[in-house]
């Protein structure tokens, strides 16, 4: 699977939107973009995933660049419970395994 690049850490104020970037310049046409997050001392949890079009769900929105070489996870209104490490992962269709990178540690400032 192609590699992703994320900032090591980000900070955001509570109740404000958060935009978490991810670069994946070597993405292939069949790579899905997945986002997971891991709260302290817990297993990761699914946030969202997409292929080409922007996606929305109850947790977040995923904005995918037209050339698919980058994407942005958007938390519309951050809460303290959103403090976690966010992982952007590319996964090729049919590949069951997920390979985690280093992720972005998001700190929410009250």
Smaller CB distance to another protein: residue 13 or 30? 30
The Cα 86–Cα 44 span in angstroms is 9
Residue 102 as a binder of another protein (CB under 8 A): the answer is yes
The Cα 56–Cα 63 span in angstroms is 9
Output Rg (C-alpha) for the chain, integer angstroms. 13
CB of 95 to another protein, least distance (A): 5
Residue 45 as a binder of another protein (CB under 8 A): the answer is yes
Smaller CB distance to another protein: residue 17 or 23? 23
Residue 58 as a binder of another protein (CB under 8 A): the answer is no
Residue 42 as a binder of another protein (CB under 8 A): the answer is yes
Q: Where are the beta strands (DSSP E) in the chain?
A: 9-13, 18-23, 31-38, 45-50, 55-56, 61-64, 70-75, 84-92, 104-109
Smaller CB distance to another protein: residue 59 or 63? 59
């Amino acid at each position: 699977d192609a590699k992703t690049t994320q900032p090591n850490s980000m900070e955001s104020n509570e109740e404000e939107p958060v935009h978490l970037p991810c670069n994946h310049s070597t993405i292939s046409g069949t790579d899905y973009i997945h986002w997971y997050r891991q709260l302290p001392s817990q297993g990761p949890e699914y946030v969202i995933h997409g292929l080409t079009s922007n996606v929305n769900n109850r947790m977040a929105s995923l904005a995918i660049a037209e050339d698919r070489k980058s994407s942005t996870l958007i938390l519309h209104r951050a809460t303290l419970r959103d403090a976690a490490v966010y992982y952007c992962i590319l996964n090729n269709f049919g590949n069951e395994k997920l390979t985690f990178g280093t992720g972005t540690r998001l700190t929410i400032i009250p």
